[in-house]
Amino acid sequence: MRTAEGVALGDRYRLVRRIAVGGMGEVWDAYDESLTRSVAVKVLKAEFAGDAGFLERFRTEARNSAALSHPNIAQLYDYGEQEGSGYLVMELVVGEPLSDLLEREPVLPARRLLPILAQTARGLHAAHEAGVVHRDVKPGNILLGRGGRVKITDFGVSLARNQMTMTATGMVMGTAQYLSPEQAVGRPATPASDLYSLGIIAYEALVGRRPFTGPTAVDIAVAHVNDPVPPLPASVDRELAAVVVRLLAKDPAARPASGAELAAELDRLVPRTPPAGVPVVVTRPDRAPDPVPRLPAAPAPAPDGPTTAAVGAPPSYPPRRPPRPGGEPAHRTVSSRPPLQGSGPRLGRFGHMTWPLLALVLLLVALLGAALAGKVIGAEGPLTPPNLAQDVTSASAPNMPSDGKISQDVPEPAVRSAVNGPDRDEEDA
């Protein structure tokens, strides 16, 4: 069966884009043209098409997933076969796998991690109650959806109750890094095996590395069987560390009895954790969060210190203080009336520069008048040169009154020319 963008499986599910590749199949973002909704389609890889064993595994995954219905398990919608291959139509989870989150943030805070572990434990408990063991619990199969909702996916190697095993003697199913000791030695997987794998995930997220490693998958499997659990850092809460150590017990009977019991214990470690999602902020149980952050109160001013306004309060002018000893006021009182637009503080009816400018103009006028008076009036009285009187008389003859005084209508240029005439130099001499 060919898989490519635009190909429609079963004349209904049109492939949009490939979003993941697993060991046995490819996962595509697809569009259900019948119900007009987005779905996820898992298609058997082309190299396994026609292989009866892989096709039977696909059918087993479909049957086991169809028997499960829980908010923390990705829902199966449909199953189909085409051209010797098979495909599963599942719920499309908008988010990312836990493996991507751990790759970006190798160590997660306990308050963020514990709700993820608790939801996964609840989903596993629902599967175990239905008689299905996942057998491949790992970060890549734990999807983190919107609002913090956890979805367990990929029951490709799951084993149902009374189901005939499809593995040969000594064959191990699962991922070596998250394999339980009993699976590593070839024993059947049980619900406790899934909880052990969840304990490996918890250790990895709290420490930043897996507890058991090795150069090959066989070496890692041997370490799960023989090596003790490395101690967790002292920064990890003691109760939480004890839960992780219990999950990683070599003896399945020493682990928590069920996923529901484990989820309840994890919830107890993080108060007010909603069972259906990851809280953004977890508060203390004895104190509710404030809906609006409170600003610190402003300190009270000292008797002679500066006045301080609270943050966010409207601007105000300082009150008038009592005068200091001796009659000198503590500070100058500022008028509460705001200044006119485009001007600074007012001084009477005039601005800053009006009085100095007016005084300068009066001084210049006085000096000019004194200079002119000194030139025209000497020590013995006023001098009247003949040409000055003649020019003034001739220039102002039309307006001369009978009493001999110069009229106010005398043109200014005539007076200026008489003062600056050629006889002015002779008078100075």
The greatest distance separating any two alpha carbons of the chain, rounded to the nearest whole angstrom, comes to 149
**Helices vs. strands in the chain: H and E counts, helices first:** 12, 13
What tokens appear for 261 in the block? Answer: 């019991």
DSSP letters spanning 47-100: GGTT-HHHHHHHHHHHHHHHT---TTBPPEEEEEEETTEEEEEEPPP-EEEHHH
The Cα–Cα gap between 283 and 273 comes to 9
- Neighbour count for residue 267 (Cβ, 10 Å): 18
φ/ψ of 402, rounded to 5, equals -70, -25
Set 78, 136, 267, 391: catalytic member: 136
Tokens 């087993």: give the residue. Answer: 60
Residue of 137, 126, 131 lying closest to 174 (CA atoms): 137
C-alpha pair distances (Å), 318 with each of 324, 332, 333, 340 = 16, 10, 8, 20
The Cα–Cα gap between 76 and 88 comes to 7
Told to judge if 11 belongs to the known catalytic residues of this protein, a careful annotator would answer no
The Cα–Cα gap between 217 and 175 comes to 8
Q: Are strands 381-382 and 85-90 parallel, antiparallel or unpaired?
A: unpaired
Determine contact, residues 73/66, Cβ cutoff 8 Å.
no
Positions marked active-site: 136
